[in-house]
Amino acid sequence: MKVYQTNEIKNIALLGGKGSGKTTLTESMLFECGVIKRRGTIDAKNTVSDYFPVEKEYGYSVFSTVFYAEFLNKKLNVIDCPGGDDFVGNAITALNVTDTGVILINAQYGVEVGTQNIFRTTASLNKPVIFAINQLDGEKADYENVIEQMRDIFGKKVIAIQYPLQSGPGFNSFIDVLLMKKYSWGPDGGVPTIEDIPEDQLEHARELHQQLVEAAAENDETLMEKFFDQGHLTEDEMREGIRKGLIDRSIYPVFCVSALKDMGVRRMMEFLGNVVPFVEDMPAPVDTEGQEVKPDSNGPLSLYVFKTTVEPHIGEVSYFKVMSGTLKAGDDLDNMDRGSKERLAQIYCVCGQIKTPVDKLCAGDIGATVKLKDVRTGNTLNAKGCEHHFDFIKYPEPKYQRAVRPVTESDAEKLAGILQRMHEEDPTWIIEQSKELKQTILKGQGEFHLRTLKWRVENNDKLPIVFEEPKIPYRETITKAARADYRHKKQSGGAGQFGEVHLIVEPYTEGMPAPDTYRFGNQEFKMNVRDTQEIPLEWGGKLVVCNCIVGGAIDARFIPAIVKGLMDRMEQGPLTGSYARDVRVCIYDGKMHPVDSNEISFRLAGRNAFSEAFRNSGPKILEPVYDVDVMVPADVMGDVMSDLQGRRAIIMGMSSENGFEKISAKVPLKEMASYSTALSSITGGRSSFTMKFASYELVPSDVQEKLLKAYAEKQQADE
């Protein structure tokens, strides 16, 4: 295979919503380039992209697939990304290591929420975008409606390169207004007939051509002057203008295709080969030191590993982008993240599960290697003396979580290893060992995301597992001041145990004044603060301890033991065993024995005095509340609102955004357990949402009563 130089390489991400046809388009692209001799289908389970067992089982893409095509003396590296919102991490990864996004839109459904989400990602990364309207031969296809919708949402930068003469089952031709030619196909697609534009279409074609020329000329002053002088541009001049417009996102070209029948695919690939930016045309990425790293084949060798997988019959495969320098098979590199050394004995160009060995890869190229010793997704591999380190991919917060455990408890360690490997393959699968909840919490982007992991563990690793609803990390706090004292006394021959602690608890807020005087009934307690400890808690909030002991009632050496006793109860609150937070404790009196007092005595006395005071201080349970933003089509907004209100949501606002309605709400985490599935059911999968922790808030009294009752029953069952 030819060694492609940096100025011959183009990296492209193939994007779009679920069902937009990316896997089918990949087959047609590879067929047109001669990489495959026959196009596979999803139904036949023989496509290049969906080759993992779980993808064949479910019939949709789960992983991104890297493939390349040698076309027009250039190398096109393409990453086909899953369309489901649950697998958005793959698309984010792909966009970070490619230079242009091709977004497919299903002509039958138009711009969907997922389409907008991925477009926003391209905008945040400042990546060029090309749109391809696919399935124009579908029963409900409506090109005019889709292109109008696109212009409403994405603006006047949407410029048609082609338009169909007819959309729907009769689609078999389009007018290309860049080349000013008519393309038409027979019933089975394939090689097109190219001819002059019919008379009845000339006026419309010239109008669109003029719009395209103007859009191309806008991006180059020389072209603009030539356009004003001559009124037209040559094909090469237009390509140059469009390329510059793509780079600064001032133009979004639109193509027409039927991926299933291979109509328009080759023409779109010609555009990708001739017009879209090369690797070196795009802004250089920066390393963690803020230094630009240009794709220079003669520079220091540095690789970024953007994906790792365990593939059938191969084992562990590491996919990388050559950020700088030229990689040769057999090179020894340093792992900048893990401190290990790696030899890349073999390097490959990849086309799905087909790996073609190559001798070297130049800066900007994408390749793979196998069976490295200690490499993870996101690692940087450098030649000796190179100090670059990359960490530029940022993933969204998880939206769905489940507690996971093996059916057989003895398999817990094995499961932990499998889950860690899964996280390395897909960083949006997040595993948390919760000491608080005593559960392994698995977090992801949605139900399908986690269900896919479960299928793989049970079918590939042969380990049955159970998903359960996670416990909610409640917090306990108090609402008023209370006083208590407790004497711990134990005598059983020899040295005994004795410690007595008197304390007052009250709610703590930042900046509150030092304690002064408290009144309980007819009794007044005046505080003389000698020392204050502010203890930030791992789980949020604080415990503040004021030492108000006077007259040596308790020796200062026992105060740390009392604080340990307080922390025992903060870690296991008296109401439900949840963590407690935001409490101030004033230790104001007590007693000790010259012989029997020791640390354990005062620890137990402090713990029990605190428990009693806590119960008398108007204790309340707090629950985690999340900020939730939901994007929905207008026709189902009422149903989504009703569902949210049934989940104890507080609606914070509503707005319209690019043809969709955005609902902002605060929702308790307890009510979000099944929201991903419910929202998909209500809206037919045409919506998406994000959620982010906001605060802890008091639970309603009826909810608190249920929690207290459930905890009491559990305690009885455990006794």
**47-87 confidence digits (pLDDT tens):** 877 777 777 777 777 788 999 999 989 999 999 998 878 88
Strands (E) located in 415-558:
430-434, 439-444, 465-468, 475-477, 482-490, 497-507, 517-520, 523-526, 531-536, 542-547
3-state secondary structure 395-453: CCCCCEEEEEEECCHHHHHHHHHHHHHHHHHCCCCEEEEECCCCEEEEEECCHHHHHHH
**117-148 confidence digits (pLDDT tens):** 899 899 999 999 999 999 999 999 999 999 99
In a domain, 266, yes or no: yes
Strand 400-406 to 523-526 pairing? unpaired
Question: Which pLDDT score, from 0 to 100, does residue 658 have?
Answer: 67
Q: Are 432 and 309 contained in the same domain? A: no
Give the residue from 382, 414, 442 where a domain finishes: 382
Question: Which pLDDT score, from 0 to 100, does residue 403 have?
Answer: 95
List residues bridging with 651 in a β-sheet: 665
52, 63 Cβ separation under 8 angstroms: yes
Structure tokens at 661: 């309605």
pLDDT of residue 266 exceeding 80, the answer is yes
* Domain of residue 147, residue span: 8-281
Q: Are 422 and 495 contained in the same domain? A: no
Which one of 352-356, 436-440, 511-515, 542-546 scores highest in mean pLDDT?
A: 542-546
In a domain, 291, yes or no: no
Percent of the chain with pLDDT over 70: 98
Q: Are 365 and 406 contained in the same domain? A: no
Q: Are 637 and 577 contained in the same domain? A: no
Question: Nearest CA to 412 among 453, 380, 440?
Answer: 440
Q: Are 75 and 204 contained in the same domain? A: yes
In a domain, 63, yes or no: yes
In a domain, 227, yes or no: yes
pTM of the model: 0.83
Phi, psi of 370 (to 5 degrees): -125, 155
Higher pLDDT, 493 or 393: 393
Question: Which pLDDT score, from 0 to 100, does residue 442 have?
Answer: 95
Mutual orientation of helices 88-97 and 113-124 as an angle, nearest 10°? 30
CATH number of the domain that 406 lies in?
A: 3.30.70.870
Strand 583-591 to 542-547 pairing? parallel
Question: Which pLDDT score, from 0 to 100, does residue 18 have?
Answer: 83
In a domain, 288, yes or no: no
Give the residue from 281, 314, 345 where a domain finishes: 281
pLDDT of residue 503 exceeding 70, the answer is yes
CATH number of the domain that 581 lies in?
A: 3.30.230.10
CATH number of the domain that 338 lies in?
A: 2.40.30.10
Determine how many CB atoms are found less than 10 A away from the CB of residue 604: 20
Lowest mean pLDDT among 11-25, 216-230, 385-399, 481-495: 216-230
Report the domain count for the chain.
5
Question: Which pLDDT score, from 0 to 100, does residue 229 have?
Answer: 67
Q: Are 203 and 325 contained in the same domain? A: no
For the chain, give the mean pLDDT: 91
**Residues in contact with 662: Cβ distance below 8 Å, sequence separation at least 6, in sequence order:** 629, 630, 631, 654, 655, 656
Give the distance from CA 247 to its chain's centroid: 25
Q: Are 89 and 219 contained in the same domain? A: yes
Give the distance from CA 367 to its chain's centroid: 24
CATH number of the domain that 197 lies in?
A: 3.40.50.300
Lowest mean pLDDT among 369-378, 518-527, 685-694: 685-694
Q: Are 202 and 274 contained in the same domain? A: yes
Q: Are 610 and 637 contained in the same domain? A: no
Higher pLDDT, 40 or 612: 612
Token look-up 């104001």 returns 588
**588-633 confidence digits (pLDDT tens):** 999 999 888 899 999 999 999 999 999 999 999 999 999 999 998 8
Strands (E) located in 108-180:
129-134, 158-160, 162-164, 173-176
**308-360 confidence digits (pLDDT tens):** 988 877 888 999 999 999 999 999 999 999 999 999 999 999 998 889 999 99
**656-677 confidence digits (pLDDT tens):** 876 788 999 999 999 998 898 8
CA-CA-CA-CA dihedral for 654, 660, 665, 669, to nearest 10 = 170
Give the C-alpha separation, 66 to 308, whole Å.
Answer: 12
Question: Which pLDDT score, from 0 to 100, does residue 233 have?
Answer: 74
Q: Are 512 and 554 contained in the same domain? A: yes
Lowest mean pLDDT among 397-406, 499-508, 683-692: 683-692
CATH number of the domain that 663 lies in?
A: 3.30.70.240
Question: Nearest CA to 85 among 57, 107, 117, 110?
Answer: 117
Question: Which pLDDT score, from 0 to 100, does residue 436 have?
Answer: 87
In a domain, 127, yes or no: yes
In a domain, 296, yes or no: no
Q: Are 414 and 340 contained in the same domain? A: no
**86-108 confidence digits (pLDDT tens):** 888 999 999 999 999 999 999 99
Sheet bearing 162-164, strands edge to edge: 162-164, 173-176, 181-184, 193-195
- 3-class secondary structure, 596: coil
In a domain, 311, yes or no: yes
Q: Are 433 and 455 contained in the same domain? A: yes
589, 526 Cβ separation under 8 angstroms: no
Give the residue from 577, 601, 618 where a domain finishes: 618
Phi, psi of 627 (to 5 degrees): -80, 125
Question: Nearest CA to 633 among 584, 682, 676?
Answer: 682
Q: What is the mean pLDDT of residues 191-196?
A: 95
Element (H, E) at 153: helix 143-154
Structure tokens at 159: 């410029």
pLDDT of residue 395 exceeding 80, the answer is yes
Give the C-alpha separation, 272 to 266, whole Å.
Answer: 10
